[in-house]
Amino acid sequence: MITIKSPREIEDMAKSGAILAGMHVGLRNVIKPGISSWDIEKFGKKYIEEHDAIPEQIGFEGYKYATCVSINDEICHGFPRKNVILKDGDLIKVDTVVNYHGAMSDSCWSYVVGKSTPEIDKLMTVTKKALYLGIDQAIVGNRIGDIGAAIQHYTEDEMGYGDVREFIGHGIGPTMHESPSVPHYGEAGHGVRLREGMTITIEPMINMGTWQAEMDDPNGWTARTADGSLSCQYEHTIAITAKGPKILTSQDPDIDKAYLL
């Protein structure tokens, strides 16, 4: 079922999103060569709890951690690990969900550890642009397919990357995952029509190589690129409003000025 949020509920979700965004901003000073991916988990969990919120992923379908920390060819749902030490050039995706007094927000962000490469920089730039191309389609009267078509055309047709099919965005609030599904590929003019008050995530996962994923990790969660290529992801929680898409997990009020209605 698709739930329509009131202005008050959307503002509450924005408060939740501000906590999540603050965690991501803080990680910029945490992620560096020599730390473990478990250090990211510790920081994220502590930050959320210190801001009177709940790391909602803990316990979701048996998941044990506040964050997903996916590295290099790991597309998503990577476990934070004490024995995985980050090094220069690692591409890290950190994903989490915040529950602030019942208001949900969901955001993933990508980070490069230490010294980057031109290839990684390009992948990150393309993936972030794809996110915003999708957000631009999240307007009243458009359809879900308009979001996915914009992302797929740019990332695959124009840039030659792989646009992951196996994992997609979703509705959010009052629960973590709800209708509608929000693929990052598809056909314009198709799918559910967007209505004022809907809240969704847009979260393209873009691979340097094939779009296909392998999901045979022994932990039962982590997905990797089928060809071992790097994968990148950016995600915002969005509210559909009469004035346009509103980003509820913005990290930068200057960059996102047009989306902070």
Output the CA–CA distances (angstroms, integers) from residue 16 to 20, 93, 246, in the order listed: 7, 20, 14
Residue type, 172: I
Q: Cβ of 113: how many Cβ atoms within 10 Å?
A: 19
Distances in whole angstroms, Cα of residue 116 to Cα of each of 8, 29, 33, 112, 247: 42, 16, 12, 6, 28
Q: Is 121 annotated as a binding residue?
A: no
Is 77 labeled as ligand-binding? yes
DSSP one-letter string for 209-222: S-S-EE---TTS--
156 annotated as a binding-site residue: no
Alpha-carbon gap, residue 146 to 193, rounded angstroms: 10
Neighbours of 157 (CB within 10 A): 9
Query: Is 95 annotated to bind ligand?
Result: yes
As a whole number of angstroms, the distance between CA 246 and CA 239 comes to 5
Residue ranges at the known binding site for a divalent metal cation:
95, 106, 170, 203, 235
Residue ranges at the known binding site:
77, 95, 106, 170, 177, 203, 235
Residue ranges at the known binding site for substrate:
77, 177
